[in-house]
Amino acid sequence: MALDIVQSGPRTLPDRVADELIARVFTAELRAGELLPPERTLAIELGVDRTSLRMALRQLTRMKLLRATRGSGVTVLDYRKHAGIDFLAAVLDVPGLDLGGAFLIEVLDHWIAAMPAVTALAFARARPADIRALDRVFAEQLRLLDAGSDLDAVVELELELQDAIVALVGSTALDLLGNSTRSLRRKLGRLLVARIDVRAQVSFQRAQVRAVLRASPAQLHQSEAHRRYLIEHNAPLRRHLASLPPNPARHTTWSSTHARARAASGHAPEVDS
C-alpha cells in the first residue's frame, strides 16, 4: 500500500537519491551492517554526479542511517536502533513505497493503545470553547455526507479533529509525531471509511465529545471503554491490513523514476567524471 504523497515542492536530484537510498534501507535491500559501494561505483550505478550523491549521503547520515569511518567506508546502521522521527517522516514521503501490512498493523495497534490516553488528557484540559470547535467539525462531516461529497473530504476533517485533540494536550513531541505521520493517517483513514458506516461513526464520536460538556471531571473519559471501542471500530481495517503482503516493497524502480525526472526537466543523463 503506497501512500498518496503531497510534495511540498520539486524534488532535487539529491532529494531523489536520498529517497532511493531510504527506500533501500527500509525494504532491507540495504541491510544493517552492510558497507555501501565506493562513492564512484554508487554514483555510476545511480547515474548521478558525485556531488549530488554526497549531498544525499549527508541526509542519511544526519538521520543516523549511515556511519562513515575513515579507512573502512560507509556502513548501513540499523534504523530500528538509531533512527528517529525524521526517518519515519522521510519514509512516508518516498513515492511508490509500499509500507507492508505488518508495519501498518503495528501502527494501527499502537494508535489504538495510545489514543485513549491522549484523548483523556486532551479532554481534561479542554475548555468548553474547544469542545464546541470540535463539534463544528463533526457537523461539517455530517453535512458533507448528506451532500454526497467525496469521502476524502470527510477524512481530511478527521485529520483536523485528530490534530486538534493532540494540540489540546500541549505536547511538542506529539505535535511533531502527528505532523510526521499525517500522510500515513490520511491513507489509513481512507482505507477505514471504505469499510465502515461513516455516518454512524461520525455521529457516535460527536455524541461522545458532546458528552464531555455535560460530564463531571471524573467522567470525562473512560480509557478502557475507549480502547475497546477503537478495537471494534478498526477491526475491518485491521483485517484488510492483515491481507496485505507483510513486507515493505517498491512499486517503482530508481531507473524508471530517475529517467522520468530527467526527461521532465529536459536534461540529459549525468555523466560522472
pLDDT in tens, the chain (273 residues): 555 444 445 789 999 999 999 999 999 999 999 999 999 999 999 999 999 999 999 999 999 999 999 888 999 999 999 999 999 999 999 989 999 999 999 999 999 999 999 998 999 899 999 999 999 999 999 999 999 999 999 999 999 999 999 999 999 999 999 999 999 999 999 999 999 999 999 999 999 888 877 765 544 446 788 888 899 999 999 999 999 999 999 887 776 666 566 656 655 545 444
> Which pLDDT belongs to residue 90?
95
> Which pLDDT belongs to residue 190?
96
> Which pLDDT belongs to residue 188?
96
Question: Which CATH number applies to 101-243?
Answer: 1.20.120.530
How far is it, in rounded angstroms, from Cα 32 to Cα 29?
A: 10
Domain boundaries, the chain: 13-98+248-265, 101-243
Check if the beta carbon of residue 90 is closer than 8 Å to that of residue 80: no
DSSP string, the chain: -B-----SSPPPHHHHHHHHHHHHHHTTSS-TTPBPPPHHHHHHHHT--HHHHHHHHHHHHHTTSEEEETTTEEEE--HHHH--HHHHHHHHTSTTEE--HHHHHHHHHHHHHHHHHHHHHHHHH--HHHHHHHHHHHHHHHHHHHTT--HHHHHHHHHHHHHHHHHHHT-HHHHHHHHHTHHHHHHHHHHHHTSS-HHHHHHHHHHHHHHHHHS-GGGS--HHHHHHHHHHHTHHHHHHHHHS-SS-EESS-HHHHHHHHHHHHTPPPP---
Check if the beta carbon of residue 108 is closer than 8 Å to that of residue 241: yes
CA of residue 130 relative to chain centroid, distance: 26
> Which pLDDT belongs to residue 222?
66
* 25 CB burial (10 A radius; 0-12, 13-18, 19+): buried
- Tell which CATH architecture fits domain 13-98+248-265: Orthogonal Bundle (1.10)
Placement of cell 551492517 in the chain: 33
> Which pLDDT belongs to residue 273?
43
> Which pLDDT belongs to residue 271?
45
